[in-house]
Amino acid sequence: MEFEDMKKIWDEQNNENIYAINESELHRRVIKNKNRVKRMVNKFEWTYLAVMIALSLFAIIVGIQRHHFFKFADAFIFLLAAGYFYKSRLDRIKYEGQSNLSILDDLEQAIRSLEYHGKRHKYFRLWLILPMVSAVLINLAYTYDTRPLWTLLIALGSFVFADWAMKKELQCKILPKKEDLMHLRSLLLKDE
């Protein structure tokens, strides 16, 4: 009997499944997932920063054109939120660390990115809705008698919708992707 046949009989006796791992293909997929996560997080961060800076510039321009100098407070709030978020981005990059080109390191880096991004989504109310509500309240205090009530209701409704959308993205996109990567990590660690 050849060695291959003996091994097959031995494995059938133990009821074990034998898996062969194509390491280069696995590493390519891990890198692809890591890059996809990195693009998703970077896109979110740059979009947020661009929106906050655009809102602050818009508030400054409107404030100057209409002599509504209370708009400078809005601009300051938006710039403060953008600055905090940029610092958060730098912290995330530092937290991710560098990869030494191994499968597990690339996988860990992707998991850390998703963890940080997930935590950021959990505190969405604090770093996005709070600055927006503050700006709305400042504007409402100065222009209460000139604005209809439905504009306030639309603003509050949009904040509620944004909060719901961020929670949905966290539950349907970020957490499942993180669980998949963590499952792959546990399989790789169990295999070693």
Domain boundaries defined on the chain:
26-191
What confidence tens digit (pLDDT) does each residue in 85-100 have? 899 899 888 877 776 6
Q: Report the mean per-residue pLDDT for the chain.
A: 81
Distances (CA, A) of 109 to 38, 82, 98, 102, 121: 9, 25, 8, 11, 18
Q: Are 178 and 118 in contact (CB under 8 A)?
A: yes
Q: Are 105 and 157 in contact (CB under 8 A)?
A: no
Average pLDDT score over residue span 90-114: 82
d(CA 49, CA 72): 18
**Distant-in-sequence, close-in-space partners of 80: CB < 8 Å, separation ≥ 6:** 131
